[in-house]
A = this chain, B = another copy of it.
Amino acid sequence: MTFQRARSEEQREIRRRVILDTTAAMLETMPVSEVSLNELSRRAGLAKSNVLRYFESREAILLELFDHACAQWLEELGERLVIVIDPAGAVRDRGDRFAGAFAASLEPHRTLCDLLSAQASVLEHNVSTEIAARYKRSMHDNLAALGGLILRHLPELGEEGAWKVAGMAAVFVGGLWPHTNPSPSMLAAYDADPALAAMRMPFIETLEEAIATLISGALSRTRLSPPGRR
């Protein structure tokens, strides 16, 4: 697969891209936890040690991928929002439409959700301080961008309120996602007992409702307690 050795910087960059692309392709067909360095390096046509020449750990690869996926999703969400939300509409309507667009925009970004849910518990471990700091700064920007989108379409929330909703939404997505990937045995349990199946949470619908509820709550709370008050 590999044709010649990477000596120039641009060749090294190509290697990095191959690794990232291969990982992204794997994530399309399997959860984060199943992406192993062995299989990844096999698919990329490189030796494992060579993969680790370009990334300091498995987690560092996934983190970079996550960061990129985040930025791309945010762009799509931004576009979707301006289409869907009428700036002159009622607050309640804008909130609901935001929630709907938010949830729907994640539908084609399953791997982003998967990475998000693994972020704090897995990805942020086993990377150097440099990588951790760089990534966290980038995530700070992403979260700020999400807060900006919220503020733009729901200015009633205020800057602080919008920021908080952004953080809560991110946390919620990360918490909800794992529940939508039941293990085979759990699936069998669902099949066997309809009462259990009833408590499954469909990802998009649950997310939409939760975000809408969060926004409603944040709105009513900013209204009830004027800024500056604790």
Chain A positions near chain B (C-beta within 8 angstroms): 33, 92, 117-121, 124-129, 131-133, 136-137, 140, 143, 164, 167-168, 171-176, 178-179, 181-183, 185-186, 188-189, 192-193, 195-196, 199, 201, 206, 209-210, 212-221, 224
Partner of A185, one of B132, B172, B206: B132
Give the chain B neighbours of A132 by CB distance below 8 A: 183, 185-186, 188-189
Shortest Cβ gap from A19 to chain B (Å): 21
A181 to B122, CA, bound (A): 11
Give the chain B neighbours of A219 by CB distance below 8 A: 220
A171 pairs with B179, CB closer than 8 A:
yes
Give the chain B neighbours of A125 by CB distance below 8 A: 183, 185
B182 pairs with A129, CB closer than 8 A:
no
A-B pairs with beta carbons under 8 Å apart, 17 shown: A92-B224, A119-B178, A120-B178, A124-B182, A124-B185, A127-B185, A129-B185, A129-B188, A133-B192, A137-B196, A140-B195, A140-B199, A164-B213, A171-B179, A213-B221, A219-B220, A220-B220
B224 pairs with A213, CB closer than 8 A:
no
A218 to B209, CA, bound (A): 10
A179 to B168, CA, bound (A): 12
- Nearest first, the 8 closest Cβ-Cβ pairs linking A and B are A175-B175, A217-B217, A120-B178, A216-B217, A213-B217, A133-B189, A121-B178, A125-B183
